[in-house]
Structure 1
Amino acid sequence: MKVDVLLGLQWGDEGKGKIVDVLTPDYEIVARFQGGPNAGHTLEFEGKKYVLRSVPSGIFQGNKLNVIGNGVVLDPALFKGEIEALEKSGHDLKSRLYISKKAHLILPTHRLLDACYEASKGDSKIGTTGKGIGPTYTDKVSRNGLRVGDILHNFEEKYNAAKAKHLRILNQYNYDTNALSDIEKEWFEGVKKLKEFTFIDSEHFINNATKSGKKILAEGAQGTMLDIDFG
């Protein structure tokens, strides 16, 4: 059994994706364990460049299993765009990419909350990407978020309840939510795409893989300085 971890030591954008792609021939499973769809990892494969935002960087290695783990926050709309771009490469992604049921979903209202919070800080704003990553992690820690596995059970009810909570917050800030319907349309198309993939209990999958002697590469997305404790 062998598990190695690759994690950036600074803010990110350190070339982690390229390193993972070089290392993957020595592993059987590449598991993305944290982060959201930020700038992404840029890989060049067979003369073409691809940007991986949520998909692990081992996806172009034909005999590797790739896992989007429970520590990742996932935007279905951005995932759909990423997958469709990768599918043009001719690779069979569905048989080689598994998604944790416990990975949290970035909701359309998370994007609005991200922009709202930034605007409210004025000159003290953080400078986020505006993709809703921070508010999604906030909901995860407070146990108010939706996870990939929720798609399988009473999802519309759960989604509407979470949306209502976020709208109450946005209304307190008098934030304009007119863009929400357009964002939702794209987002639910992404949910349909997400359901084409295999959802797993990633903790059991990885534990069983280690017990059976599989070699696993754990791929980090964020640099250390973006960590919740040290960033």
Structure 2
Amino acid sequence: MLTAITGINWGDEGKGRMVDLLSQEYNIVVRYQGGNNAGHTVVTPEGKFVLNLLPSGILRPDVVCVMGNGMVIDPAHLEKEIAALRAQGIQIDPSHLKISDRATICMPYHVAEDGLEEDRLSKSGNQFGSTRRGIAYSYGDKYMKKTLRMGDLLNLDQSVKDRLATIVEWKNLTMEKVYGQKPIDLEEMWAWCQKYAELFKDYICDTGAFLDKADREGQKILFEAQLGALRDIDFGIYPFTSSSNVIGSYAPIGAGIPGHKLHKSIGIMKAYSSCVGEGPFTAELAMTEEEKNALREAGHEFGAATGRPRRVGPFDVVASRYGVFCQGADELALTLLDVLDYMEEIPVVEKYLVNGEEVDRFPMGEALDNAKPVVKFLPGWHCDITTCRTWESLPQAAKDYVEYLEKAVGCKIKYVSVGAARDAYLVRE
């Protein structure tokens, strides 16, 4: 059984929470793309955990976690993340975590480039809202075939050092002549590689062979995406996207088993809209600043990776229907329904107004940039639902809201989250 859990919108939908919930039914959890430029926050009886690189299944001791070839991995960040989890009592060892030998290494100069370019763009107000973690530069170098992979750390011979020297020479053309920075020091980069080779050598392996064998043996594999459909490099709000394919159909490829096929795609969407970073976000135009501040505070909408305040707005039917289409979702989980407890009536972006015409198909380019929200208001329930554990125990207005969203996006909502606690959810059979 191969199942993907993916984001329907701009990311930050609560995928980590759902992976943690569903991972109890799976043997293996795999991250198949992205890097440490986003985060998943998971609350368990043991505490609150913020994960950037590691799959959310890492919190379950009987689940094997895999970091796939589609990822870009900053070993320095990974070291700190593992140390933080161990300090919270989470056991992590090579039997519990496996890192693809084909995953791209995010080097220190990738992080430096990211920050320098974002600083340059910010002077003219054209910044992308990058997390400055070096992700785009790692992926760019991957496709230019000018980077190292985690497997290179297993055999740091002269040929690898010669390749790194060629890369550093090329990078210094940019660092010195474009940004006016000091040159990258080859020996420092080589020592950095040696440090993390020693630290992670027992974790790095052919994860494709591991997953292929596991699938053939009938083990259940759960794929965990970072961000959401609207941040996909091909199908998202380009160029304000991530630098990888976040859609579920890429999961077997980014995991290392490209010939295998998904059996199920579970999409995650919030009961309202949120967005980190720049780019078109029609939903935020449907609320006043006071209303957005109230929603942001109610939902604690601050980025897990950066701490930045997220942009917020009502649930966006147009964007969510498109996300369901991109993800090929068979069923959905609706998260953070309890955040709306305080609202007397709940706004929903039902359509977009583009060039004077109402549309329900998600547009691209200039049409999206200029789109205005067409808002519908639904009755609120205005009571605390965080203790609800069955569909029947929800107030009628909350059930009506869920059913409206389900019909609007055209996909069954099976799971509904009503609080931050691990058991604060209900299942609609």
State if a TM-score over 0.5 links the two structures: yes
Distance 2:183 2:143 in 1: 28
Counterpart secondary structure, 1:143: coil
Alignment-derived partner of residue 108 in structure 2? 108
Distance 2:37 2:214 in 1: 29
**Code of the aligned partner of 2:148:** L
Alignment-derived partner of residue 143 in structure 1? 145
Q: Give yes or no for contact 2:102–2:151 (8 Å, CA) kept in 1.
A: yes
Alignment-derived partner of residue 40 in structure 2? 41
Rg larger in structure: 2
Q: Which has the higher contact order (CA 8 A, sep 6+)?
A: 1
Alignment-derived partner of residue 126 in structure 1? 128
Q: Give yes or no for contact 1:32–1:218 (8 Å, CA) kept in 2.
A: yes
Once superposed, what is the RMSD of the aligned Cα atoms?
2.4
List gaps (5 residues or longer) in structure 1: none
Deviation at 1:38, TM superposition (A): 1.8
Q: Give yes or no for contact 2:153–2:201 (8 Å, CA) kept in 1.
A: no
Deviation at 1:178, TM superposition (A): 7.6
Alignment-derived partner of residue 332 in structure 2? none
The 1:197/1:40 distance shift into structure 2, 3 A limit, reads farther
**Code of the aligned partner of 1:166:** K
**C-alpha distance after superposition, 1:129-148 (max 9, x if no partner):** 11100000101122212110
**Code of the aligned partner of 1:64:** V
The 1:11/1:185 distance shift into structure 2, 3 A limit, reads farther
The 1:115/1:160 distance shift into structure 2, 3 A limit, reads same
Distance 1:199 1:223 in 2: 27
Alignment-derived partner of residue 154 in structure 2? 152
Which stretch of the first structure deviates more once superposed, 22-31 or 36-45?
36-45
Q: Give yes or no for contact 2:8–2:228 (8 Å, CA) kept in 1.
A: yes
Which stretch of the first structure deviates more once superposed, 217-226 or 27-36?
217-226
What is the TM-score with the length of structure 1 in the denominator?
A: 0.89
**Code of the aligned partner of 2:220:** K
What is the TM-score with the length of structure 2 in the denominator?
A: 0.50
Alignment-derived partner of residue 225 in structure 2? 220
The 1:127/1:180 distance shift into structure 2, 3 A limit, reads farther
Counterpart secondary structure, 2:33: coil
Distance 2:129 2:225 in 1: 21
Q: Give yes or no for contact 1:80–1:193 (8 Å, CA) kept in 2.
A: no
Pairing 1:46-61 to 2, within 5 Å after superposition: 46-61=45-60
Counterpart secondary structure, 2:5: strand
Alignment-derived partner of residue 73 in structure 2? 74
Counterpart secondary structure, 1:25: helix
Q: How many residues align?
A: 229
1:168 is aligned, of 167, 173, 178, to 173
The 1:185/1:102 distance shift into structure 2, 3 A limit, reads closer
Counterpart secondary structure, 1:81: helix
Which stretch of the first structure deviates more once superposed, 212-221 or 117-126?
117-126
Which stretch of the first structure deviates more once superposed, 3-12 or 199-208?
199-208
